[in-house]
Amino acid sequence: MSEHTNGILSINRRKLLARLGGAAIAAPTVLRSACAQSPGKVVIASDSGLAQKAQTEVFFKPFTKETGIEVDVRSVLSLAQKKAMAETGKIEVDIVNHRGMDVTLMAKNKWLEPIDYSRFRKEDRDAIQPTDMTEYGFAVWYWAEVMAYRTDVFGKDVFPADWTQFWDLKKFPGSRSLGDPSYSFSLEFALLADGVPADKLYPLDIDRALASFTKIRDSVVAWWGKSAAQPAQLINDKEINLCAVAHTRIKEVVDSGAPVAVNWNRGMLYQAFYSVMKGAPNKDNAMKLMAYVARPENQADHARYLPSGPTNSKAYSMLDDKVARSLPTFPENRARMFVKNDAWWASENASGKTNRETVIDKWEAWKLKA
């Protein structure tokens, strides 16, 4: 969720704000219609920082202008906060913007309302893949964890073609950075490097993945987690030659003119969902807002503000070709990647723990080994 919240795409953002007549927003924010008789409101916990501003400018303000419905914008909620609301029945938000693992866990506990996709226009439903319209979560955009490399070290035409070659220390020497598995990053890449096909990754073989990490552990100088900007900064400063990194972060480095390139092959796609809280006081307006967000012109504007991948495929016909090709759900890029199976990470195993909890336990033990 937060991997792209602090990206600075100042030129695109200024142009978009000028077109929309918008200004920077402080959270929480209430967007009010000029109508004397307001048709109500909707409350959304929609991330923070630049991500919240992007949604406010391209989704919430125009929605209020068109419908008169006020949008009360709150900061992102933790799973514990959402759980407390659901269990006490004190529902303070209608829509939550969150990751797939939270959707799975909350749906299992019956803390979410089914989404009424009949509110979406037929042309939008037809342009959005079924995997992005789940019963309890509408995937509004994507970000991706991808490979990046220094072109002045390996050359523009000689670079790791896949994760197996990323693991090849002889052919592609030098320091690397990978995501910390305790944040649910990189484990899939370790298995791909060890020969597991992308369509056979799940259920993940955790022990095999850790054994794969062992092969390159001495060359990994940073396991990034909370600080998603770290690998982009390291490769920009030439402290590493290769990394796994959020596409939103590395795009800034590439756009700055640094000798760094992206390889989308077998990148991992992450969905950012909107869900409706069970018992949401403004459920009807929540459904209306999600239907509005599903429109291609709105998703295209969001991609101009942030390098997010639209889920409505028609948005791409509204984007400049250079911008479109830099996004993870651009057809050619999406075809080369796979979607992270958040349901597996959130599922409980025989131990009674979630798979993510098991990964964390084994990862911490692995780090202590010599």
At 3-27, the pLDDT tens digits run 444 433 333 444 444 444 443 334 4
Indicate if 230 and 100 belong to the same structural domain: no
- Please state, in angstroms and rounded to a whole number, the distance separating the CA atoms of residues 97 and 198: 28
Identify the pLDDT of residue 50: 84
Do 48 and 37 lie in one domain? The reply is yes
Same domain as 299, residue 161: no
What is the rounded average pLDDT of the residues 250-265? 94
Number of folded domains in the chain?
A: 2
* CA distances from residue 125 to 100, 113, 120, 134, 149 in whole angstroms, order as listed: 20, 19, 6, 12, 37
pLDDT in tens, 317-333: 999 999 999 999 999 99
- The CATH number of whichever domain residue 356 belongs to comes to 3.40.190.10
pTM: 0.85
Structural domain including 249 reads: 145-268+341-368
Phi, psi for 263 (deg, rounded to 5): -115, 115
**Are 7 and 105 part of one and the same domain?**
yes
Q: What is the 3-state secondary structure (H, E, C) of 163-223?
A: HHHHCCCCCCCCCEEEECHHHCCCHHHHHHHCCCCHHHCCCCCHHHHHHHHHCCHHHEEEE
Mean pLDDT value across residues 304-316:
95
In this structure, the strands spanning 260-277 and 338-339 are: parallel
243 and 210 together in one domain: yes
- Look at residue 370 in the predicted model and tell me its pLDDT: 59
In which band, very low, low, confident or very high, does the pLDDT at 38 lie, cut at 50, 70 and 90?
low
Sign, Cα dihedral of 322, 129, 349, 215: negative
**pLDDT at residue number 49:** 81
Residue from 357, 320, 327 nearest 101 by CA: 357
**Cross-strand pairs, 269:** 144, 339
pLDDT 10s digits, 137-162:
999 999 999 999 999 999 777 899 99
Q: Terminus-to-terminus CA distance in the chain, angstroms?
A: 33
Mean pLDDT of 25-38: 45
Q: Which residue has the higher pLDDT, 166 or 31?
A: 166
Q: 194 is written with which tokens?
A: 């060890």
Alpha carbon of residue 213 to chain centroid: 24
* Structure-block tokens of residue 175: 């320091």
- Do 128 and 161 reside in the same domain of the chain? no
DSSP 105: H
Residues 212 and 303 in one domain: no
Pairing of strands 95-99, 138-150: unpaired
Residue found under tokens 């459904």: 287
Among 54, 58, 61, CA closest to 30:
61
Mean pLDDT of the chain: 90
70 & 174 share domain: no
Verify that 26 and 136 share a domain, yes or no: yes
The pLDDT, as a whole number, for residue 48 is: 77
With vertex at residue 100, the alpha carbon angle to CA 98 and CA 102, rounded to the nearest 5 degrees, is 65
State the pLDDT at residue 16: 45
Residue 262 and residue 279 in one domain: no
The string of pLDDT tens digits covering residues 238-254 is 999 999 999 999 999 99
Bridge partners of residue 139, in order along the sequence: 273
pLDDT of residue 232: 96
Q: Read off the pLDDT of residues 173-221 as tens digits, 9 standing for 90 and up.
A: 999 999 999 999 999 999 999 999 999 999 999 999 999 999 999 999 9
Dump pLDDT digits (tens) for 95-150. Answer: 999 999 999 999 999 999 999 999 999 999 999 999 999 999 999 999 999 999 99
Domain identity same for 138 and 153 = no
* Side chain identity at residue 289, one-letter code: L
Whether residues 292 and 313 share a domain: the answer is yes
